[in-house]
Amino acid sequence: MGILGYKKLHNLNERGVNILPTSTFFNLPEEKKKRVIEAALDEFAAYPYHKASVTRIIKRAKIASGSFYQYFKDKKDLYKYILELGTERKFEYLGPVLEKQNEYDFFELLRQLYVRGIKYARENPRLEAIANKLISNKDSEIYVEIIGEQRPRTARFFRALLEDGIKKGEIDSEVDIDLVAHMLITLNLALSDFVYKDGKVDMDDMVLIDKMLYVIENGIKNKSK
């Protein structure tokens, strides 16, 4: 799957996810839309979802309370929209790697995607802080809901990469693609516990990521015996 396949999975209009704001929001002048988005980014980066305040967002965005509910159904709709914007922003970082997908084998492609993901995290601190707060509250209803919604499309993405790896002879054709895709998702979620342990994401985390990628590529069996 090339870049177009990935973009189709991650485009707000094409991925099977409803665009959350109303048409009223999208018809706003760009400056006003930006104020709302910036206010939401500041709020959700500073507070976990359950402590974030619509009142503070409204005040910071300098809009009327009634206007907010013409744009979004509630705080959750706004929160999900901000997360979707984060996904779109991250795609801008991953895209250049995926455009050169044929230059990498499956395992190096995964590594390069992680490298670009770290660059995204470093250069988009508010979006990364929002993700960090979500991941740090795994027992919350919003975490379960968000991950549940994201898992199918993330699985499709990994399945496509695995299928491409099989076609190129880099992945064992006998593996269960669905199972491996879900294993990769689970490994990513587990890895986040270690990556976010120090409260930040940086290139030092590639040491840990490389260890995980080694296991993915080589397994845990002692092949010397």
Rounded distance between C-alpha atoms, residue 114 and residue 173, angstroms: 25
Question: Which is more confident, 8 or 222?
Answer: 222
pLDDT at residue number 205 = 85
Residue 204 CB neighbour total at 10 angstroms: 11
pLDDT at residue number 172 = 94
Domains and CATH numbers, the chain: 3-218 (1.10.357.10)
The predicted-structure confidence for 64-85, as pLDDT tens digits, reads as follows 999 999 999 999 999 999 999 9
The predicted-structure confidence for 28-40, as pLDDT tens digits, reads as follows 999 999 999 999 9
pLDDT at residue number 193 = 76
Q: What is the mean pLDDT of residues 89-116?
A: 94
Average pLDDT in the chain: 88
Band of residue 195 on the pLDDT scale cut at 50, 70, 90: confident
Length, in residues, of the chain: 225
Residue 180 CB neighbour total at 10 angstroms: 18
Residue 210 pLDDT > 90, yes or no?
yes
Q: Which of 8, 1, 3 is nearest to 164 (CA)?
A: 1
pLDDT at residue number 204 = 84
pLDDT at residue number 18 = 53
**Residue 197 half-sphere exposure, CB side, CA atoms within 13 Å?**
8
Residue 221 pLDDT > 50, yes or no?
yes
- Can you give the pTM of this predicted structure? 0.86
- How many angstroms separate the Cα of 65 from the Cα of each of 16, 28, 40, 108? 30, 16, 14, 49
Task: Judge whether 60 and 39 are in contact, CB under 8 Å.
Answer: yes
The predicted-structure confidence for 124-172, as pLDDT tens digits, reads as follows 999 999 999 998 888 899 999 999 999 998 999 999 999 999 999 999 9
Residue 13 pLDDT > 90, yes or no?
no
What's the token pair of residue 59? 């005040």
